[in-house]
Structure 1
Amino acid sequence: MADILDWTNADLDQLDMATYEDKAGDMAARLREETGAGRLPFLTMPYAAELKKQLAGLKGYLDGFDHMLLLGIGGSALGARALQKAFHPEQDRPGHRGKWLWIADNVDAYALTAFMAKLPPEKTVVVTVSKSGGTIETVGQYFIIKEWMKERLGDEWAKHMLLVTDEKQGFLRGEVDAFGIRALPVPDNLGGRYSVLSAVGLIPALFLGMDTDALLAGAREVADVLADPALSGETLAGTQAFRLAAWGAALMDKGFTEMIFFAYIPLWASFGDWFAQLWAESLGKEGKGSQPVPAVGVTDQHSVNQMFMDGVRNKACLFLTCPSLPAGPKFPADLPDQFAYVRGKDFGELIQAEGLGTRMALSSSGVPLVEIQVGADGPKQAGKLIGLLGAATILTGWLMGINPLDQPAVELGKRLAKARMDADGLADEKADLNVFLTAQRDLREF
């Protein structure tokens, strides 16, 4: 089955799409410039051929472990978790006996202590992901796990470590050089939220036995057109990535300040969290942007869908479906009369009916909606989805007049946290922190 976007309920007649569609020529020129200069590796994937070789050489090494502990945060973890949940759900089900992927993506002392207490270090590989090598939440865990590995494995500890970081510089690159730890690079100009189809996401995917070639091939189906050195405005205007971008920008002009990502492929629900970082960190700048809201079908029909349907009319929706999900077991034939409508039907029919009903209800309630329908829930389609949403996000940012590849506001909180831990320098941040901490607080028990 084909992978399609259904624009029927996108409310295009209510939006000023032409304002942005007329910029296709300018956007094509910018894409040619940026890809030609090597600044958009998400689209050009110049690293792909070498990465395939590196992954092939790594497979035998990874096959020697039962557990992978991934240390990373944000884009260093969200893509890996989405792929794990989509294509290796057995870990969450009874009786699992295969590979185990554990993701430490927070400053969580309970979890880190449990990993050290319960994981067998001799059967565990620790993958630390930080492009800069200075992300304290990640590198801090690395320091602690490194000591744990040394205590339990002695001189063999470094053989159980794998670093994914900058190819030339940073603290973790220094660890590679000092201890001979295996390492794969994060390509230059590839930000964390765009990095899932690099070593960042594909190492855990390979460990779990996913088809990494299919993931990359799916993304290339979307990206190759956009990275073509001869890309024209007419060709760009015909791509679904550009049309999504024009739709997203036009929606914001009309006051649609929330973008729901409603996943009616249960195993793909974690792509909502991945999309939330992608959309929010890329577009939330200079007082602009729309808030991404991940939602899971059918679960959230019974919770936040009330707000979507009957709350403030500021919401649009990307609605993810797959018509070829498994049929599952059949409902019994001897059900009570009040449930006669499902007698003998496949359990899988229910989610298709629920998805159709929710899609129609949202549209009738004034929620502009584009359905992303994948023909199958396989890795190639996941790669296409990643490529589509990543490209659409970049183009949306450009149409908005902002840079979708940086995240300046995120850095302030990081600097203040370092000041609180008494890092060197940061005099201004330490002064601001002192004012904040010594201010009179309004404290009340509850």
Structure 2
Amino acid sequence: MNFLKYNSDNMFIGLSKNDLKKFQPKIKQAEAALKNLQASGQQGFFNLPFDIPGAKTIEKKAKEVQKKFSRLLVIGIGGSDLGARAVWQACPGKKMEVVFLSNTDPDTVAMVLNLSPEEWKKTAINVVSKSGSTVETMSNFMVARERLIRSIGQTAHRAHIYVTTEVDGKLALWATEQGYEVLAHPKNVGGRFSVLSLVGLFPVACGGVPITRLLAGAREVVYSEAANFAALQFLAYKKGQEIQVLMPYSDSLGNFPFWYRQLWAESLGKKGQGPTPIAARGTIDQHSQIQLYNDGPNNKTITFIEIEKFKNRIKIPKNIPGLDHVSDKDFSDLMHSELHGTAEALKKNKRMNGKISIPTLSPESLGALFQFFILAAAFSGEFYGINAYNQPGVEEGKRLARKELAGQKA
């Protein structure tokens, strides 16, 4: 089944079919390079949708957690947080409550960790850090750990903690010494590419999300679909469309553009080039951003995500004063018409846009969305001629923050 369709018609407002045709050799070259990369095993995200045994192992472990606890506190940041957070918002399970803690805002930390001893007894903690040295994650974790120990005791707390990290790192060694269970973060999968690995799947599986269905949807995505999207975005960038907006018309997909934003920014922003990704949401941001997109600088592409069939049907009452056109219509009709009208207005103003459609918001379609953008990021790295898998621009800020905290001059 096709869980995802990409309509690129409105991208040819600023591009020609011939532009894409002339780019085909570059697409074929990029596809060959990515298939070689996949075969080498250097980047493991290519094969994650096909790791059914791994998913079954995760589900088994998740069931063990469900038997003992009613709440899972997930502590991570960036790629260790955004993917699972997006899955949980879009397709939440019913087995456990899943709560996320990422930022070090003390007011947020205080609110999330404000649990009674009885609540801590029913709470498991999954701390996620590939390196084991992410300062925000480890700071949050150590505070949560301290609260847990204070509530249930030194001995009992050990069974509550699950540590996702590289098994040969310092955090894994320390966690083992403490008696915590260590879950192996795949060494060849970077954080922003890890949503379909244990990193993203374990927390949501604990909550009851059917993760094998996520992977089933991801397996349906083919290289050519992602390549076409990446090529059009790249060609638009070369023509001055340096801002790339992702705008789902769905509250349940509200966190998905934030995951995309990290994927796109950290993968492609290198060597003085790269598009600026923007997270938006329809219809809300029609009332905050669309004025700029239609009437401001013509330097953006907008990609909409449309759910063809929503889970719920709610009728708009009749006889709303001055709004006869929505009388007795369904809310889903309103969402679709708003999206289509916005896309058409952008087209009339010669603003490039495209649309990704999914039949329903299901684990399969969500898995397809993740894999589509992951592959598109990989293709884009080839088109830009950069390494899409590192993040050298992040490290300098971390180094300077460490110096300031140590009381040294930057």
Q: Could you tell me the TM-score, scaled by structure 1's length? A: 0.86
Match of 2:36 in 1: 33
Cα-to-partner distance string for 1:231-280 (whole Å, 9 max, x where unaligned): xxxxxxxx111111211221111111000101112211210111000101
Gaps of 5+ in 1: 91-97, 227-238, 424-429, 434-446
Q: 2:23 aligns with which of 20, 29, 34?
A: 20
Cα-to-partner distance string for 1:153-201 (whole Å, 9 max, x where unaligned): 111111111111102x223201332023122211112111111111111
Cα-to-partner distance string for 1:90-137 (whole Å, 9 max, x where unaligned): 9xxxxxxx7322211111211222233225210101110000111111
Match of 2:102 in 1: 105
Letter in 2 for 1:287: G
Match of 2:163 in 1: 163
Where do residues 44-55 of structure 1 align in structure 2 (5 Å cutoff)? 44-45=47-48, 48-55=52-59
Q: Distance in 1 between matches of 2:69 and 2:346?
A: 46
Q: Distance in 1 between matches of 2:239 and 2:21?
A: 14
Secondary structure of residue in 1 paired with 2:229: helix
Cα-to-partner distance string for 1:358-381 (whole Å, 9 max, x where unaligned): 111122222211210011110100
Q: Does 301-310 or 2-11 show the bigger shift?
A: 2-11
Contact 2:37-2:43 within 8 A present in 1 as well: yes
Q: Distance in 1 between matches of 2:328 and 2:161?
A: 52
Match of 1:85 in 2: 89
Q: Does 317-326 or 276-285 show the bigger shift?
A: 317-326
Q: Distance in 1 between matches of 2:311 and 2:343?
A: 20
Which of structures 1 and 2 has the bigger CA Rg?
1
Q: Distance in 1 between matches of 2:184 and 2:214?
A: 19
* Aligned-residue CA RMSD (Å): 2.0
Q: CA deviation at 1:70?
A: 1.0
Contact 2:34-2:378 within 8 A present in 1 as well: no
Secondary structure of residue in 1 paired with 2:308: coil
Secondary structure of residue in 2 paired with 1:17: helix
Letter in 1 for 2:47: T
Cα-to-partner distance string for 1:43-74 (whole Å, 9 max, x where unaligned): 12275523422332331323432221111001
1:328 aligns with 2:313: yes
Where do residues 22-421 of structure 1 align in structure 2 (5 Å cutoff)? 22-45=25-48, 48-88=52-92, 99-118=96-115, 120-154=119-153, 155-167=155-167, 169-222=168-221, 226=223, 239-326=224-311, 328-336=313-321, 338-421=322-405
Q: CA deviation at 1:14?
A: 7.6
Secondary structure of residue in 2 paired with 1:331: coil
Contact 1:327-1:349 within 8 A present in 2 as well: no
Q: CA deviation at 1:343?
A: 2.2
Match of 1:232 in 2: none
Secondary structure of residue in 2 paired with 1:88: coil
Distance 1:393 1:328, change over 3 A: same
Secondary structure of residue in 2 paired with 1:23: helix
Q: Does 40-49 or 200-209 show the bigger shift?
A: 40-49
Q: Does 67-76 or 362-371 show the bigger shift?
A: 362-371
Letter in 2 for 1:53: T
Secondary structure of residue in 2 paired with 1:370: strand
Q: Distance in 2 between matches of 1:287 and 1:16?
A: 24
Letter in 2 for 1:404: A
Contact 1:325-1:376 within 8 A present in 2 as well: yes
Distance 1:312 1:63, change over 3 A: farther
- Matched positions, count: 403
Letter in 1 for 2:308: P
Distance 1:327 1:143, change over 3 A: closer
Secondary structure of residue in 1 paired with 2:9: coil
Q: CA deviation at 1:312?
A: 0.6
Letter in 1 for 2:30: M
Gaps of 5+ in 2: none
Q: Distance in 1 between matches of 2:363 and 2:296?
A: 36
Distance 1:395 1:204, change over 3 A: same
Q: CA deviation at 1:334?
A: 4.0
Match of 1:426 in 2: none
Distance 1:57 1:207, change over 3 A: closer
Distance 1:57 1:116, change over 3 A: closer
Letter in 2 for 1:129: V
Q: CA deviation at 1:81?
A: 1.3
Q: Could you tell me the TM-score, scaled by structure 2's length? A: 0.93
Contact 1:221-1:384 within 8 A present in 2 as well: yes
Give % identity. Answer: 32
Contact 1:215-1:383 within 8 A present in 2 as well: yes
Q: CA deviation at 1:9?
A: 0.8
Secondary structure of residue in 2 paired with 1:125: strand
Q: CA deviation at 1:353?
A: 0.9
Q: Distance in 2 between matches of 1:269 and 1:15?
A: 35
Secondary structure of residue in 1 paired with 2:126: strand
Secondary structure of residue in 1 paired with 2:72: strand
Q: Distance in 2 between matches of 1:64 and 1:100?
A: 13
Q: Does 109-118 or 326-335 show the bigger shift?
A: 326-335
Q: CA deviation at 1:207?
A: 2.0
Q: Distance in 2 between matches of 1:345 and 1:403?
A: 49
